[in-house]
Amino acid sequence: MPPTALEEAQRGSRPPAKLRTEEFRLGRPEIVGPDAPEPPFPIALEGKVQRGFGRGGKDLGCPTANLPDESTTAMSSVTKTGIYYGYAQVIPPKDEPTQLRRVDTKVLPMVMSLGWNEFYKNKRLTAEIHIMHKFESDFYGYEMKAIVLGYIRPEFDYISREALIEDIEFDKRVALNCLQRPAYQEYSKDPFFVLDGNL
């Protein structure tokens, strides 16, 4: 069995990510995984959104929310690095003014990277969530809840930023397709989230 992401991080050394090949891009399926989540999924994560490197939105057109290291152990201890999909929700502080709209606080589809971001040569393991929704304001310091439901692909290194962006956009489509399946849609109403009327 391959080492988990956490085991790799604890060793302080990690195998180099494979360079993404053209053959991989051409052979990618538009939907992955079984018709219902299988162990170790679902995996529930929560924590306050932290400032990351600021590259997702600026460099890649894919803004991400970083969860604190300690909040991702539930996932990194049972999975390998790679790209995942599921649902996430941003929860504003109660009784405090917020610029978030009601639609911003709904349970929304997400894609998640758990890994080292080889293209940028990160020094530590990170968990970055991209919620597939257009936010008009940031939400640093706000609570985020996420349920990870499936695995899309391994983490790769890239010869160009354009190739990375191309895969990110494909990952988003795969995630949305996967979440259309009824057994996955059920998790958008999971009591782990703060459902309508309780925010």
Segment 3-34, tens digit of pLDDT:
787 777 777 655 556 667 666 667 789 999 99
Is 178 contained in some domain? yes
Is 96 contained in some domain? yes
**110-168 pLDDT, tens digit each:** 999 988 765 445 556 788 899 999 988 888 889 999 999 999 998 887 777 788 888 88
Is 25 contained in some domain? yes
Is 195 contained in some domain? no
Is 198 contained in some domain? no
Angle at CA of residue 187, ends 175 and 111, nearest 5° = 25
CATH of the domain at 15: 2.40.30.30
Domain with 117 in it: 5-189
Q: Exposed, middle or buried by CB within 10 Å (0-12, 13-18, 19+), for 117?
A: buried
Q: How far is CA 35 from CA 31, 53, 81, 116, 152, in A?
A: 10, 35, 22, 29, 14
CB 41 within 8 A of CB 114: no
Is 197 contained in some domain? no
Is 57 contained in some domain? yes
CB 45 within 8 A of CB 66: no
Is 48 contained in some domain? yes
Catalytic residue numbers?
128
Give the chain's domain count.
1
pTM confidence score: 0.86
Quote the pLDDT of residue 27.
Answer: 78
